[in-house]
Chain A
Amino acid sequence: MRIRGKLSNRTALVVLLLAVTATTLAGRRLASRLRVAAQYVVPVLGDTGMYVATSFKSHVREITARGVTPAEAKRLHEERDEWRRRALAYEQQIARYIEHQKARRQLYGRVFDVPVELIPARVVAADALPYGSTRLVTGGTSRGAAPRQRVTTRRLHTDRGKALPEGLAALSGTVLVGRLMETGAFTARLQLVTDRGFQMRARVVRVIDPETPRRITTGGRVRALSRENNRPLEVLAVGDGAGGVLVEGVRVEENVLPGDWLVTRDDDALLPAQVAIGKVTRVEELPGGPHTVRLHVAPQASLDALREVYVVVPLGSRKAGD
Chain B
Amino acid sequence: MRWIPFAIFAYVLVVLQATLGRILTIHLGGVGHVGPDLLAVLGLMLVLYLRSGTDAALAAGLLGLALDLTTAGGPGGATVVGPMALGYAAAAWVVFQVREAFFRERLTTRFLLTLLFCLIAHGLWVTLQSVRFLGDGSWAAYGASLLQAVVNSVYTALLAPLVMVGLDRVRRWMIVAPVDRRGRSR
List residues of A whose CB falls within 8 A of some B CB.
1, 3, 9-10, 12-13, 16-17, 19-24, 26-28, 30-32, 34-35, 38, 41-42, 44-46, 48-50, 52-54, 56-57, 124-134, 136, 181-182, 189, 191, 195-198, 241-243, 304
Contact = CB atoms under 8 A, between A and B. Distances in A.
B101 interface: no
Q: Which of B18, B54, B65 has the most CB of A within 10 A?
A: B18
28 contacts: A1-B52, A9-B1, A16-B89, A22-B82, A24-B86, A30-B81, A41-B11, A42-B70, A44-B15, A46-B18, A49-B20, A53-B21, A126-B19, A127-B73, A132-B71, A132-B73, A132-B74, A133-B33, A181-B72, A191-B77, A191-B78, A195-B77, A196-B77, A196-B141, A197-B73, A243-B27, A243-B32, A243-B33
B76 interface: yes
Nearest to B57: A13
| Complex A-B, nearest 8 residue pairs according to Cβ-Cβ distance, in ascending order | A132-B73, A197-B77, A49-B19, A24-B82, A130-B35, A20-B82, A38-B69, A242-B32
A44 B12 CA distance: 10
A43 to B, nearest CB: 9
Interface string B41-72: 00000000001101101100110111111111
A268 to B, nearest CB: 20
Contact of B31 (A31, A182, A195, A242): A242
Nearest to A132: B73
A16 to B, nearest CB: 5
Interface SS majority for chain B: helix
B74 A131 contact: yes
B16 A49 contact: yes
Interface SS majority for chain A: helix
A48 B16 CA distance: 10
A31 B79 contact: yes
A304 B68 CA distance: 22
A16 B85 contact: yes
Given A24-B82, A24-B83, 7 more contacts: A45-B12, A45-B15, A46-B15, A127-B18, A130-B35, A197-B73, A242-B32
Given A127-B72, A130-B35, A181-B72, A9 B58 contact: yes
Given A20-B65, A57-B23, A131-B148, A196 B74 contact: yes
A134 B74 CA distance: 9
A35 B22 contact: no
A130 B82 contact: no
Contacts of B68: 20, 31
A1 B58 CA distance: 11
B96 to A, nearest CB: 12
Given A9-B52, A197-B76, A243-B27, A129 B81 contact: no
Given A49-B16, A131-B71, A181 B35 contact: no
B124 to A, nearest CB: 11
B174 interface: no
A295 to B, nearest CB: 18
Nearest to B22: A53
A34 B74 contact: no
B119 interface: no
A228 B61 CA distance: 62
Contacts of A181: 72, 78
A172 to B, nearest CB: 26
B69 A34 contact: yes
A28 B78 contact: yes
Contacts of A195: 73, 77
Given A13-B61, A134-B73, A128 B152 contact: no
B179 interface: no
Nearest to B137: A196
